[in-house]
Amino acid sequence: MNVSVDALNVTAGSRKLLQYVNCSFQAGQMIALMGPSGAGKTTLLNSMVGRASGSIGGTVTYNGHSLVHARSCIGYVTQEDIMYETLTPRENLTFAAAFILPSLPHAKRQQAVEDIIEKLKLQKCADTVVGSPGLVRGISGGERKRTNVALSMLGQPSLLLLDEPTSGLDSKMSDSLMKDVKEIALEGCTVLATIHQPSEAVFRRFDRVLLLRAGQVAYFGPVAELRDVLLGLGVHCPPGLPLPELLLEVLEEGQEERQQQLRQLSLGKAKAKDEQPEAKGFQRAGWPRQLGILLRRELVNLKRSKGLTVVRAAQSVASSLLIGWIFVQLERNMSGLQPRLFSSFMLVFSQFLFAVLGVVNAFPSERAVFLRETQDKLYHPATFYLAKVCIDTAMQCFFPLLVLVISYPLIGLNGESADRILLFYVIMAVVSNCGAGMGFMVSAAVPSVSLALSIAPGLMMPQLLLAGIFTKVEDLPQPFNALSYVMVARYAVQATVTNEFNCIPKDGCDQSWHASPEDQCGSSPCDFCCTDAEMSAAGGICPVLSCDDAIKFLNMDEVWPSGGTHDETVAYNIIALLVLLAFFRLQGLNILMMSYRRATTGSALPCKCRCPARARSAIDTE
């Protein structure tokens, strides 16, 4: 691809990061982008793919087209190695290939992956988990870098931008990597790579050098002519001293005259031919296919990071056992009413708590990969979110099942009919999903896991205080009463309590019935009863015989909708929870999209691209 950069300016606030950068690259050239730290090398690469922050002036054309038309033909390897650390290089490449090469039959797509593994000499580490430096042992730094380059090369880009591809590699590995990159350039791909202190061998692989200083082009010319250029400037070039170092020395303070001469030499640069190759349609995977690939990748990721799932399951089991043990086999007498209320609410609320804390790290840990892949147009951010929500919903429905099985019989909660048990599970599952929705919102809004983890506990306090369990919601002063309407806990309490105290009408239960001292409430035909002590304390008449009495006794009778049946109350509160859940999920998507838009400047969402011919023909002819 021929690239022409004309009068490119990038300004952030009052700072000029790039000033009138002019240069052009011919298809198949390999260009070394050099300059002191902070010279603007990364800014130049970012602005070439529409990722630079700040205001941008000037133009960059790709075979005469704008970025929108060329985006999918550009591979960008950033300084950081961005990929899924839970997957192996082969898996990372296979999933990327599924997005990029959807039209290839499976076998041919897999062959493309194997070819790239071979080309970048990743065979030995292809099935080792990438790992995380210092945390999980995985492939070496050089192999990570190669995998990163391989990911960008998979779509056979016509322009490959590499930001410090050799950083962290020894000279042998650097040379070997750049040799591979050179082969790609020889196939017709234009390569622009920032490079620090390259060895002579690595430097010689480049065709041209673009030297930046303080955001301006200091030199742009052929590597082969560099020695003569330096000699012409009066620089002593003893054999054995690497040319790149001598070039950078010219940029030091006190060499202004030489810098001026050097700049003059670059002005006569050859203009790249803006040839306009025949447009070729290049289709990325459609969204249903994107969703399928993302779901499969989520599942593999879930399997690899099963520690998190095991911890969440263990939390659910442990909290069920703890709550079940504390409130074991509650009596159906008056003193058992309050514990019945607390235990059922605690079971539901613990699911909310675990869900918030469980997903709060979901996005920060994947942000870099998400941004890279969405900026590379592998999929739409909403599809990524939908895949996450699908898998997460299944998880949030599974954990409450554990709680139900363990604690419901242990405590002796309302098991009069299957409806009561099923509804208790539904309430827990919806509340758990609300927690996950809220956790994801936080997770998408903040830049780091630690910040997300410190915000999450703060969300619990208002939920607890405004739930109506310590103070009736009607008695809450404004604005807390109004605020309680958006609290998950408010609807969770009402639904849980009403469901627990929703009983089938009993025959033979009237005010005159009371338990004998030996039998206590065992033979009571009523829903609840009083012990002798409770009866005499209440003046000889047991005030709590039916479920309705119990709700009144607990001060939880002012339910919504007023005057409705218990079934209606449970249903309305579950609907309210579902509305909150939909709100959290949509807000999560909204925040994710904002995060995506913040990171993406200058490029539009899915574009039809016109890739110039390079090895793309190998794909198109399949």
The contact pattern for ligand ATP, residues 530-569, with x = CB under 6 A and - = no contact, is ----------------------------------------
Which residues neighbour 172 within 8 Å (Cβ) at sequence distance 6 or greater? none
What is the largest distance, in Å, between two alpha-carbon atoms of the chain?
A: 115
**CA nearest to 84, candidates 12, 171, 151:** 151
Among 42, 316, 496, 524, binds ligand ATP (CB under 6 A): 42
- Long-range contacts, 493-496 (Cβ 8 Å, 24+): 493/345, 493/467, 493/468, 493/469, 493/556, 494/468, 494/556, 494/559, 494/560, 494/569, 494/573, 495/423, 495/427, 495/569, 495/570, 495/573, 495/574, 495/577, 496/344, 496/345, 496/348, 496/424, 496/427
Residue 22 CB, nearest distance to ligand ATP (Å)? 17
| Angstrom distance (rounded) from CA 276 to CA 375 | 24
By CB under 6 A, tell whether 484 contacts ligand ATP: no
| Angstrom distance (rounded) from CA 96 to CA 349 | 39
* DSSP output for 210-244: EEEETTEEEEEEEGGGHHHHHHHTT----TTS-HH
Q: Which helix (H) or strand (E) is 282 found in, with range?
A: strand 281-282
DSSP 124: G
Q: What three-state secondary structure class fits 118?
A: helix
User: Toward ligand ATP, which CB reaches closer, 38 or 447?
Assistant: 38
Q: Hey, which residues between 172 and 211 contact ligand ATP (CB under 6 A)?
A: none
The contact pattern for ligand ATP, residues 102-141, with x = CB under 6 A and - = no contact, is ----------------------------------------
Among 37, 516, 562, 621, binds ligand ATP (CB under 6 A): 37
Cα 504 from chain centre: 48
Go through the chain and tell me how many residues it has.
Answer: 622
By CB under 6 A, tell whether 41 contacts ligand ATP: yes
Stretch that binds ligand ATP, among 40-48, 263-271, 313-321, 601-609 (CB under 6 A): 40-48
Handedness of CA 371, 375, 380, 382 (dihedral sign): positive
Find out whether 102 and 186 touch, Cβ atoms under 8 Å: no
Residue 202 CB, nearest distance to ligand ATP (Å)? 16
> Contacts with ligand ATP: how many residues (CB under 6 A)?
13
Residue 155 CB, nearest distance to ligand ATP (Å)? 25
Stretch that binds ligand ATP, among 38-46, 138-146, 567-575, 586-594 (CB under 6 A): 38-46
User: Toward ligand ATP, which CB reaches closer, 40 or 157?
Assistant: 40
Question: Strand 208-213 vs strand 30-34: parallel, antiparallel, or unpaired?
Answer: parallel
Among 1, 29, 40, 436, binds ligand ATP (CB under 6 A): 40
User: Toward ligand ATP, which CB reaches closer, 197 or 603?
Assistant: 197
Distances (CA, A) of 87 to 144, 305, 466, 494: 12, 10, 43, 44
Mark residue 62 as left, alpha or beta (left: phi above 0; alpha: psi -120 to 50; beta: remaining): beta
Residue 52 CB, nearest distance to ligand ATP (Å)? 8
User: Toward ligand ATP, which CB reaches closer, 195 or 521?
Assistant: 195
Q: Hey, which residues between 261 and 300 contact ligand ATP (CB under 6 A)?
A: none
User: Toward ligand ATP, which CB reaches closer, 11 or 140?
Assistant: 11
User: Toward ligand ATP, which CB reaches closer, 15 or 236?
Assistant: 15
By CB under 6 A, tell whether 14 contacts ligand ATP: no
By CB under 6 A, tell whether 372 contacts ligand ATP: no
By CB under 6 A, tell whether 236 contacts ligand ATP: no
Residue 222 CB, nearest distance to ligand ATP (Å)? 22
Among 12, 186, 482, 586, binds ligand ATP (CB under 6 A): 12
Q: Is the bond leading into 400 cis (omega within 30 degrees of zero)? A: no
By CB under 6 A, tell whether 462 contacts ligand ATP: no
User: Toward ligand ATP, which CB reaches closer, 13 or 134?
Assistant: 13
By CB under 6 A, tell whether 17 contacts ligand ATP: yes
Residue 46 CB, nearest distance to ligand ATP (Å)? 7
Residue 601 CB, nearest distance to ligand ATP (Å)? 11
Q: Give the tokens for residue 380.
A: 């739409």
Q: Hey, which residues between 49 and 108 contact ligand ATP (CB under 6 A)?
A: 53-54
| Angstrom distance (rounded) from CA 419 to CA 163 | 61
In DSSP terms, which residues pair with 212 in a beta bridge?
217
Neighbours of 401 (CB within 10 A): 13
Residue 193 CB, nearest distance to ligand ATP (Å)? 12
Stretch that binds ligand ATP, among 36-44, 65-73, 219-227, 301-309 (CB under 6 A): 36-44
By CB under 6 A, tell whether 601 contacts ligand ATP: no
Which residues neighbour 415 within 8 Å (Cβ) at sequence distance 6 or greater? 408, 409, 421
Residue 310 CB, nearest distance to ligand ATP (Å)? 40
Residue 178 CB, nearest distance to ligand ATP (Å)? 18
Stretch that binds ligand ATP, among 32-40, 342-350, 356-364, 464-472 (CB under 6 A): 32-40
User: Toward ligand ATP, which CB reaches closer, 17 or 226?
Assistant: 17
Neighbours of 159 (CB within 10 A): 24
By CB under 6 A, tell whether 244 contacts ligand ATP: no
DSSP 286: P
* DSSP output for 401-438: HHHHHHHHHHHT---SSHHHHHHHHHHHHHHHHHHHHH
Among 2, 4, 29, 43, binds ligand ATP (CB under 6 A): 43
Residues at the site binding ligand ATP, with contacts judged by CB under 6 A: 12, 15, 17, 35, 37-43, 53-54
